[in-house]
Chain A
């Protein structure tokens, strides 16, 4: 509770508070903004608040049961199907934005992972993270999620091959800035 109150005063909820005041104001003066925007907001809000907490709980549970360290042990110079398989699994267990994957790419490079697999890792990281898939299924449906996964998988594997083909003889290296 204390955290929430302090957050309101610190400004994280500032926009929401302002919006509420605006709604109150426009209701008093009978602007159409009040009723339409309020109806939109309430519709979205009730729909999300009903199951969003569940999704985060699921993500938390997945996080404690699938330690990334165990998968990381399988990552190495292996570049066949098995190598691709393990980098994709490792990527799926991660969370966060793409730029958070760059330092990991550097670590993979140090572990003498192939160029192809490093870029496959980046592709899988950006599009197939399990927390994201849970959200995708929740908001866009299982069919969309399955189809997008099926189409995306070959796309970033091909990107991995193309990157390796292009960079192989060009003294490519990954830096740690």
Chain B
């Protein structure tokens, strides 16, 4: 975390020395993105706070924690495939879930399916690529996400 702040400060300084105008433009752009995402982020925090209050910790660990194996991966893949959560929200959420006892393996499957598999956007995707190609891409991505999750589980 500290590392990222440091990189940001160095990047801003270097950028400022190189081109003041460009730096202002970038900073304003970044700030605007932050203010745009803020309400969505706060809503997510509210929901997760309530959810973690309602769902006992042991239950989360049993179903999604280390050693949850097949069930954990299946739940993560299902949730990741059907939901549409932007990355700016998904990663903070994943960070909280990690602290709540959800394993890296499960998080990797959830994040990868979230990003690569889109059941809700399948009709739109079919319009671009045709139904066959869209189904194939989503299917292969789902399989890939499970493989990535298992590998993460072996190495983390």
Contact = CB atoms under 8 A, between A and B. Distances in A.
Given A55-B4, A61-B15, A175-B127, A139 B39 contact: no
Nearest to B85: A97
A63 B88 CA distance: 16
B5 A140 contact: no
Contacts of A12: 39
Interface in A59-103: 59-65, 97-99, 102-103
Contact of B26 (A65, A97, A167): A65
A44 B45 contact: yes
Nearest to B155: A147
A160 to B, nearest CB: 10
A25 interface: no
Nearest to A143: B156
B151 to A, nearest CB: 5
A142 B2 CA distance: 12
B101 to A, nearest CB: 14
Contact of B116 (A126, A163, A172): A126
The residue among A52, A122, A155 with the most chain B CB atoms within 10 A of its own CB is A155
Nearest to B2: A51
Contacts of B152: 144, 147-148, 151
B147 A61 contact: no
Given A99-B121, A132-B91, A105 B128 contact: yes
Contacts of A135: 87-88, 91-92
A48 B133 contact: no
A70 to B, nearest CB: 14
Nearest to A7: B39
Given A135-B87, A159-B140, A163-B140, A51 B92 contact: no
Contacts of A51: 1, 4-5
A19 B46 contact: yes
A3 interface: yes
B67 interface: no
Contact of A139 (B34, B50, B91, B112): B91
Interface of B: 1, 3-5, 7-9, 11-12, 15, 22-23, 25-31, 33-35, 37, 39, 41-43, 45-50, 52-53, 84, 86-88, 91-92, 94-96, 98, 104, 107-108, 111-112, 115-116, 118, 121, 124-125, 127-130, 132-133, 136-137, 140-141, 144, 147-148, 151-152, 155-156
15 contacts: A15-B47, A16-B43, A53-B30, A60-B26, A65-B26, A99-B118, A103-B128, A138-B91, A138-B95, A144-B104, A162-B140, A163-B136, A173-B130, A174-B129, A175-B128
Q: Kindly list the 10 A-B residue pairs having the minimum CB-CB distance in the complex, ordered from nearest.
A: A60-B30, A139-B95, A56-B34, A40-B49, A64-B26, A135-B91, A12-B39, A177-B127, A155-B144, A41-B49
Interface of A: 3, 7, 12-13, 15-16, 19, 33, 36-38, 40-41, 44-45, 48, 50-65, 97-99, 102-103, 105-106, 119, 122-123, 126-127, 129, 131-132, 134-140, 142-144, 147-148, 151-152, 155-156, 158-159, 162-163, 166-167, 170, 172-177
